[in-house]
Amino acid sequence: MSLSTLSALSGTNRFHAVIVSTKIRDKKISNRKGGKMMTMLKNDVTAALFLMIALAGIASAESGAAGKDIFTAKCAVCHGADGSGQTSIGKNLKVRDLHSPDVQKQSDADLKAVISKGKGRMPAFRGKLKEEQIEQLVSFIREIGSQK
C-alpha cells in the first residue's frame, strides 16, 4: 500500500487498510521458507504500524489547528478565545464555558447537533460550515476541555 493511498484515508479506514495489507503480505510470505522472510515480514509490520501512528498524529494535529482557526473565526466572539464565554457578548447571552463538565460530558454527536442546528440564541452553522469543519470544531472543543 502506497504512502499517498494511506494518507488519503481517514484514521479508522487507514488502520484497517494497513491491517488488511499486512495480512495479504503475510499470506504471500508464509508460503516461502526461511527465517530471512519472517524477519522481513516483522520489519514490514513494524514499519506499517509506525507509519499508521505517525499519520494519525499528523491528521490529529491538522484537525486541531483547523478547528482552532474555525473557532477563532466563528465562535470566539461569544465563547472567547479560550472557550470560557467571558466576553461581553458571552456574558450577556450567558453562554456556557466550554471547559465545563456540562459541555464536556456531551457526546460528539450532541455537540455536532448543537453546532449544526444551534441552540437557544446560538445560531445554526449547518450550511455555513461543512461537516468536516463541524467535526474539527468538536475536536477543538474536546481539546479545550482537556486544557483546564
The residue extents of the domains of the chain are 3-62, 75-147
Statement: the pTM of the whole predicted model exceeds 0.85: no
Question: By the 8 A CB rule, do 18 and 6 touch?
Answer: yes
Residue 66: per-residue pLDDT: 87
CA distance 103 to 140: 13
Long-range CB contacts for residues 118-123, cutoff 8 Å, separation at least 24 = 120/93, 121/93, 122/78, 122/93, 122/95
Domain range 75-147, its CATH number among 3.40.50.10310, 1.10.760.10, 3.40.50.261, 3.90.1750.10: 1.10.760.10
Q: Which is nearest to 81 in space by CA: 129, 132, 147, 125? A: 147
Q: Give the span between the Cα atoms of 69 and 50, in whole angstroms.
A: 29
Tell me, what DSSP letter sits at residue 119?
A: B
Distance of alpha carbon 92 from alpha carbon 124, whole angstroms = 19
Q: Give pLDDT, residue 19.
A: 53
Query: What pLDDT is recorded for position 4?
Result: 45
Pick out the chain residues at pLDDT < 70: 1-64, 148
110's grid cell = 450532541
